[in-house]
């Protein structure tokens, strides 16, 4: 009831006029994405966060309808911000239980975009609110801001290229908030140069994960095993 009421309120604010348009746009975008039943993409992932330093590494991303997504490294450790990266656009746009609310327009990277807020109607959904910046003409999501119940807020910036027709980005930048890094006493594995003084608090508590996709293999089938569990 509450959500319906809230949605209604939002709808009133943004104007009924747009209502149909938002739903149509989302639908169009989703239809484009729905052409992809599954894909396997290779790319390069790098992490930039205040307290984690890892080498950029080759990864393979797997997707299967409706919302299964996984990023695998060929070997070595797979480091991902919790929650964020594993949610992909399809699943954001997914389910029917979403209310779309228009929040105006803006210009992103020199192109006009529509801002649409999505409110899941399902109380149990981890995603509480997502804001999409959609290029109407290209029917592509340029940016998404997602607030989750358990995994904080994050942002996805997407750049499209060769695979724009499928709604698949060439580059995705995830921005997320990091919590404070603390190590149990006596565990530090480093040499003290003796000039450290007071440990500096990281100023910027945001981290990013950048994935550059080099190629997609679309609708060629993906083995369920890659998603584990």
Partner 1 sequence: MWQLTSIELFKIFKKPRTYISFVAIASIILLVQLALYVDGETYLSFVMQSVNETFSIEGKRLNGYFVCYTILQTLLVHVPLLIALVAGDMLAGEANMGTLRLLASKPISRSGLVLSKFAATTVYTIALLVFMAALSLGLSILLFGTSDLMVFKSDMLLILSQKDVLWRYFGAFGFAMLAMTTVASLAFLLSVFAENSIGPIISTMSIIILFTILTTMDIPLFNSLKPFLFTNHMLNWKGFFEDPVDYREVLKSAGILVAHIVLFLSVVIFVFRKKDILS
49: DSSP letter? B
Which residue lies nearer to partner 1 by CB, 33 or 49?
A: 49
CA distance 43 to 216: 9
Which residue lies nearer to partner 1 by CB, 2 or 179?
A: 179
For residue 221, give the nearest of 54, 24, 37 by alpha carbon. 37
The CB-of-226 to partner 1 minimum distance in angstroms stands at: 13
Tokens of 165: 């027709």
The CB-of-69 to partner 1 minimum distance in angstroms stands at: 14
In this structure, are residues 213 and 85 in contact, taking their beta carbons and an 8 Å threshold?
Answer: no
- Chain residues in the site for partner 1 (CB under 8 A): 49-55, 57, 73, 75-82, 176, 178-184, 187-194, 199-200, 202, 207
For residue 117, give the nearest of 152, 87, 147 by alpha carbon. 147
The CB-of-211 to partner 1 minimum distance in angstroms stands at: 15
Which residue lies nearer to partner 1 by CB, 169 or 207?
A: 207
CA distance 27 to 139: 10
Cβ-based neighbours of 43, under 8 Å, separated by 6 or more = 58, 59, 60, 61, 211, 212, 213, 214
Which residue lies nearer to partner 1 by CB, 85 or 168?
A: 85
The CB-of-42 to partner 1 minimum distance in angstroms stands at: 18
The CB-of-74 to partner 1 minimum distance in angstroms stands at: 11
Which residue lies nearer to partner 1 by CB, 110 or 184?
A: 184
């Amino acid at each position: 009831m509450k959500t319906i009421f809230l949605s209604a309120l939002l709808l009133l604010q943004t104007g009924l006029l747009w209502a149909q348009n938002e739903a149509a746009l989302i639908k169009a975008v989703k239809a484009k994405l729905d052409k992809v039943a599954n894909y396997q993409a290779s790319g390069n992932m790098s992490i930039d966060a205040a307290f984690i330093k890892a080498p950029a590494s080759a990864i393979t991303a797997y997707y299967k309808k409706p919302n299964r997504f996984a990023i695998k490294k060929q070997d070595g450790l797979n480091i991902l911000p919790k929650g964020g990266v594993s949610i992909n656009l399809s699943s954001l746009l997914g389910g029917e239980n979403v209310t779309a609310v228009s929040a105006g327009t803006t210009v992103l990277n020199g192109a006009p975009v529509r801002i649409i807020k999505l409110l899941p109607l399902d109380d149990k959904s981890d995603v509480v609110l997502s804001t999409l910046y959609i290029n109407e003409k290209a029917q592509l999501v340029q940016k998404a801001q997602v607030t989750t119940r358990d995994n904080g807020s994050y942002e996805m910036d997407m750049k499209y290229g060769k695979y724009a027709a499928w709604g698949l980005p060439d580059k995705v930048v995830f921005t997320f908030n990091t919590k404070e890094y603390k190590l149990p006493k006596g565990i530090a594995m480093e040499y003290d140069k003796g000039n450290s003084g007071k440990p500096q608090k990281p100023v910027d508590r945001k981290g990013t994960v950048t994935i550059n996709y080099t190629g997609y293999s679309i609708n060629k089938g993906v083995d369920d095993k890659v998603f584990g569990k």
